[in-house]
Structure 1
Amino acid sequence: MSIIQSLRTWRLPDRPSLIWLEIETSDGLTGLGETFRGGLTVETCLHEELAPWLIGRDARHIEGISRHLLTPYVGYNSSGAEVRSASAVDIALWDLAGQRQGVPIYEAMGGAARTGVPVYNTCAGYSYNTTGQRRDIGAADQAAGPYDDQVAFMRDAGTLAQSLLSEGYKAMKIWPFDIYVPASNGQLITLTDLDKGLEPFRKIREAVGNRIEVMCELHSLFGTHSAQRICQALEDYDVFWVEDPLCKMDDAAGLADLRRRTRVPICGSETLGGLRPFRDLLAADALDVVMLDLAWCGGFTEGRKIAALAQAYNKPLAPHDCTGPITLMAGLHMALHAPTAIYQEVVRATLATWYRDIVTGLPVIVDGMAQPPVGAGLGSRLKDSFKQSPEVITRLSGKGR
């Protein structure tokens, strides 16, 4: 038996978007989960709504727990707080499953489909998104360090591409159009602003040619007309994909129409929770690449079903992470296992800095390839130094050890 005895959460005041979850069981194991956005809200959901039902349950019943947590009466559409909470629980339960078997999660799910996973660098900074505030780069911004890649792609994307290639990265993702959204709420982009937004792509191709793949992120900020104009303009730069181009990424009809009007591949969407939105988008022929975030979509249990849908439609899969270290580790396990996975997202700024302060294990990247984790379960734990930090806010439900 592996009975759930307690749920314990950990938060950092200076990174309020993130929350970590530990589930302790009667067989002496501790499973680790994580989710992102509204950490305090998720904490309340975990302890007030989920813990009373979870404590006393058998942690081995992952599918049954997932179905219960993802299908109540109200509040569980897309990636709301309830689904983010359920995602953290599911990741922790799969971590426990791997530990019980003494194997990594990708092996517990049925084994690897590949020996390593190509990574691409999302060109963010050191604290991108974790403070709860957007960061849009302006002329006065200064780089916070050598890996403040969000400043770099707005200033000199060609030099940034050269830097990434020198470290073995063969793909990068940038979002130079975001700064033009406020003027019209994303409904209009002028030819002048369009040309400015294209400048980083020009610089990359001039500096390194086609030696690096480039993805364009649109962050679900644009209306159909502006998204179409951007996508069609990007056709000349051989972008690998345009990600989340429309302001409603569950709009199957709108995405399918956009996809018919442009030659650039459409990728989506980290923002979606559960199986059904992906089913609808794939059935509408609205996507070229399926992106999922295990900390938002329902965890491994729902994520492996989304991966199976991608396989059924012969679409590549690309797990998302621009959030936290455990989501990254979880995505890597999924990318190793899922037959059509092509990339795992990483942020070199966070990999080199604060991710290392939180957890014991992170992906090992060799020549642009993430190597398989070797430890049981996720292969990563919260560091004792992190847990003992006076800044950390912790909360316990049940009888913790």
Structure 2
Amino acid sequence: MRITAVETIRVEAFPNLLWVELHTDEGLFGLGETFRGAQAVETYVHSMAAPMLLGQDPSDISRLQRQLLRGYLGFNGSGVETRAASAIDIALWDLFGKANGKPVYQMLGGKCHDRMRTYNTCAGYDYNSQKIQRRLIEKGAHQTRGKYDDQIAFIERPDELALSLLEEGFTAMKVWPFDGAAGASDGQFVSAQQMRQGLEVFEKIRLAVGDRMEVMCEFHSMWNTTSAIAIARELRQYRPFWAEDPIKMDSPQALADYRRHAGIPVCGSETLATQGAFRDLLAADALDIVMLDLSWCGGITEARKIAALADAYQKPVAPHDCTGPVVLMASLHLAFSAPNAIFQEVVRAFLATFYRDLVTELPVLNQGYLELPVAPGLGTALAPGLKQREDAVVRRTAL
């Protein structure tokens, strides 16, 4: 079997998403996905990656992944080259599973779990449909527009939101009530009033649901170390499950200092790429939970190495999803095959709305758990007619 064509697809309604399809001379194809900078990644795929792939055996996943991810210069960031390599690697695994008639998790060694626990990231319907992700929510400035407009709800009615999630079987949720304060001072200072406003979200959740709900706090790497520690010292009374990306995740020493003083488990980071970045943070004793994004870290091949590295340090992993449905499916396969996976992130607003319009199949969510996929490969494909949309941009490079 040989790769005969590389195709990219994006739609203007979701300008951050890019899909990659690898087509073969046997009629099979694999589907991958990445996120952010879609047009730049598209250009790289066709100008640089496609010539490396055409005519190659797609089952040589390790060789192709190393060639694309490390390359001549040895890229280590999560920029265009890495995002392209990630999408292509996911497509190669999808194709590998289809060619062998098995789900990807079986190709990775089989399942370690019968079901995978989820947490709901409390984003709204349009969280990633805009060109610039809207993070900063001013209290009282917006109204909810539907049942799952959770980004507004966690600021306006966090107690009601927590009860709503419990009713659906979720026992964990993630919020980011300090982002507005970070935006006001560029993360350099948090006032007493801002501190109180952020803490109120956690207080209301705990009063409403007690310890029946785990609550994660996302910081989006927006704070300096001093301010992040100040927040942590006040926040830990509410027993957050983790503090995610509390500072810029490029300094193992600074993050280790934060972890030592914060008294809250540290989770990171969707922003990191390749196993080397995670190795440095783990070696510095700076992480408690490893989060990785398959569309940015180097794909399934690199993600399984990172998960194994975390396991060697006796740390759990929790794959990221607040981007696209194909990466969610790929992440779920990885999670099922990794013995140290404890969560697969989901956004119920996405699952209930636009994810359904983009792909044929989504993970089955049942009372806060995702069920085991059963179809060969990733188990999903782009929705019929997606390529024919008026706002679709399809490019193809072939032998």
TM bin, normalised by shorter chain, reads over 0.9
What is the rounded CA distance, in whole Å, between the counterparts of 1:387 and 1:356 in structure 2?
15
Contact 1:130/1:323 (8 A) holds in 2: no
Describe the superposition over 1:350-400 as per-residue Cα deviations: whole angstroms up to 9, x where unpaired: 10011000101111011111001110000000011222222211111115x
SS of the counterpart of 1:183?
helix
4+ aligned runs moved over 3 Å, structure 1: none
Give the aligned residue type for 2:54: I
Give the number of equivalent residue pairs.
Answer: 397
Q: What TM-score, normalized by structure 1, do the two folds share?
A: 0.97
Describe the superposition over 1:91-132 as per-residue Cα deviations: whole angstroms up to 9, x where unpaired: 000001111111100000100101110000000011212322
Q: What TM-score, normalized by structure 2, do the two folds share?
A: 0.98
Matching residue of 1:11? 10
Matching residue of 2:113? 114
Displacement of 1:75 = 7.5
Matching residue of 2:67? 68
Describe the superposition over 1:150-186 as per-residue Cα deviations: whole angstroms up to 9, x where unpaired: 0000101000000000011110000010011122211
Matching residue of 2:25? 26
Contact 2:70/2:76 (8 A) holds in 1: no
Structure 1 stretch 185-194 or stretch 324-333: which is displaced more? 185-194
What is the rounded CA distance, in whole Å, between the counterparts of 1:115 and 1:145 in structure 2?
33
Matching residue of 2:374? 374
Displacement of 1:21 = 0.8
Are residues 1:298 and 2:315 paired? no
Matching residue of 1:137? 137
Matching residue of 1:180? 181
What is the rounded CA distance, in whole Å, between the counterparts of 2:374 and 2:126 in structure 1?
28
Contact 1:22/1:32 (8 A) holds in 2: yes
Query: What stretches of structure 1 of length at least 5 have no aligned partner?
Result: none
Structure 1 stretch 30-39 or stretch 229-238: which is displaced more? 229-238
Matching residue of 1:41? 40
Matching residue of 1:271? 271
What is the rounded CA distance, in whole Å, between the counterparts of 1:145 and 1:41 in structure 2?
34
Q: Map 1:184-263 onto structure 2 (within 5 A).
A: 184-247=185-248, 249-263=249-263
Structure 1 stretch 127-136 or stretch 296-305: which is displaced more? 127-136
What is the rounded CA distance, in whole Å, between the counterparts of 1:221 and 1:74 in structure 2?
30
Displacement of 1:60 = 0.7
Give the aligned residue type for 1:190: S
SS of the counterpart of 2:30?
strand
Matching residue of 2:52? 53
What is the rounded CA distance, in whole Å, between the counterparts of 2:76 and 2:238 in structure 1?
36
What is the rounded CA distance, in whole Å, between the counterparts of 2:342 and 2:26 in structure 1?
37
Q: CA RMSD in A?
A: 1.0
Displacement of 1:44 = 0.5
Matching residue of 1:89? 88
Query: What stretches of structure 2 of length at least 5 have no aligned partner?
Result: none
Contact 1:18/1:130 (8 A) holds in 2: no
What is the rounded CA distance, in whole Å, between the counterparts of 1:55 and 1:232 in structure 2?
54
